[in-house]
Amino acid sequence: MNNKKHSDVHNRKKSAGRISVCGILCAAALVIFVAEAQLPPLLPVPGAKLGLANIITLFALLYLTPQETALILVSRILLGAVFCGQPSAILYSLCGGLLCLLGEMLLIKLLGRRFICEISVVGAMLHNIGQLCCAALITKTAAVFSYLPILVIVGAVCGAFCGFCILILDRIYGKKFMAMLKKDAER
């Protein structure tokens, strides 16, 4: 690459390095998502699952921009549905995932990253609520809302677990990841 183009790349907000970071995180989320789909359902409640892929979403939210995080989330959902052979799950996942991301984005702006564990809990609850609203719209029956209380509780438990995972992940890889991003920005 010659010098002229080099400065051009430098000025661009989305450098190749950042896009590949997004790609790596998306791949990690996909692996977690597909591996989790192999587990038998925890509870006979529609929509109740660990939601481990949310760890990556929150990690991305900590270090990347909201737009990049949304990109990772949406591509993970679309590709995950393809890999798991469940195209019907796309709508539910999108509704839940985007509502969850929106809430987490607002909370991380309002409260700061110290609250990442609590934000994970709220995010998991929001994901389940979004999914349930989508299910109610699709099946056109309000009766599915009778699962709301149990889904909120399941969301809190799973969200707390994911929150601790993020804390650990952040402690191990946070600094390395930040350094990598900085190195990319300087190049």
Tokens, residue 123? 């995010």
CB of residue 119 to another protein, shortest distance in Å: 9
Going by C-beta distance under 8 Å and a sequence separation of 6 or more, which residues neighbour residue 60? 22, 25, 68, 69, 72
Amino acid at 180: M
Residue nearer to another protein on the CB measure, 16 or 39: 39
Closest CA to 127 of 162, 82, 92, 80: 92
Smallest gap from residue 110 Cβ to another protein (A): 8
**1 vs 143 by CB, closer to another protein:** 143
Q: By the 8 A CB rule, do 187 and 16 touch?
A: no
Q: How far is the CB of 72 from another protein (least distance, A)?
A: 24
User: Which residues are at the interface with another protein (CB under 8 A)?
Assistant: 41, 44-47, 84-86, 88-89, 92, 111, 114-115, 118, 121-122, 125, 135, 138-141, 143-144, 146-150, 152-153, 156
Query: Least distance (Å) from another protein to the CB of residue 118?
Result: 5
The CA distances from residue 133 to 45, 56, 93, 101, 127, in Å, are 15, 24, 11, 16, 10
Q: How far is CA 74 from the centre of its chain?
A: 9
